[in-house]
Amino acid sequence: MTEYQLQTHSYQDTESLGKKLSPYLQAGDVILMNGDLGVGKTTFTRGLAQGLGIKKNVKSPTFTLIREYQEGRLPLYHMDAYRLESSPDEDLGFDEYFNGDGVTIVEWPQFIKDEVPDAHMSINIKRLESDDDRQITFKLYGDRYEKRDFGNFMDGDLK
């Protein structure tokens, strides 16, 4: 496992960070977005989608469970597993997404733990003292991610 950590100080920073990650993503990537309600998981995903060239505004898939965006450099599958807390065994065909041709981002991945591939990237967002500050921790699991060159992604520069 490889770990990186950085901080953002506004929602714009967090969006920019998502955007900055996007060029390093490949078909079949799985990103787990961890963190409390309202911490910035969807905000990060929105920036990432923009970076992939998706023009449609990313909205939380809480009620739809999965939203698909096909207009970018790679398809983006944005899942929110929150509602599966009460029905963890429900099979929504996750494999097809995880082994698919796009990037899959999952909010509340703890509710579909058994479905998630061992190799994945996990992003944890945590609130800090000040309202708009967030600590963002990236963990890479598996060669697929650990051996990838993420260029200047971790240099902390969000301009």
* Binding footprint of Mg ion on the chain (CB under 5 A): 41-42, 60, 107
Mode of pairing for the β-strands spanning 76-80 and 66-69: antiparallel
Neighbours of 27 (CB within 10 A): 11
In angstroms, what is the minimal distance from the CB of 82 to ligand ADP? 9
Please report whether residue 78 would count as binding ligand ADP according to CB under 6 A. Answer: no
Chain position whose Cβ is nearest to ligand ADP: 40
Q: How far is it, in rounded angstroms, from Cα 159 to Cα 150?
A: 17
Please tell me whether residue 14 binds ligand ADP under the rule CB under 6 A. Answer: yes
Q: How far is the CB of 92 from Mg ion (least distance, A)?
A: 18
Q: Which of Mg ion, ligand ADP, none sits in contact with 90, Cβ below 5 to 8 A by type? A: none
- Closest to Mg ion by CB, 26 or 54: 54
Which residues between 124 and 153 bind ligand ADP (CB under 6 A)?
132, 134
Given Mg ion, ligand ADP, none, residue 37, with its beta carbon under 5 to 8 Å by kind, binds ligand ADP
The sign of the CA dihedral 111, 117, 123, 124 is positive
Distance of alpha carbon 147 from alpha carbon 115, whole angstroms: 23
Nearer to ligand ADP, 35 or 72 (CB): 35
DSSP 149: -
Q: At a CB cut-off of 8 Å and minimum separation 6, what does 137 contact? A: 3, 4, 5, 123, 124, 126
Among 39, 54, 58, 121, interactor with ligand ADP by CB under 6 A: 39
Contact flag: residue 82 with ligand ADP (CB under 6 A): no
Assess 42 for contact with ligand ADP (CB under 6 A): yes
- Exposure of 109 in the CB half-sphere (CA atoms within 13 A): 24
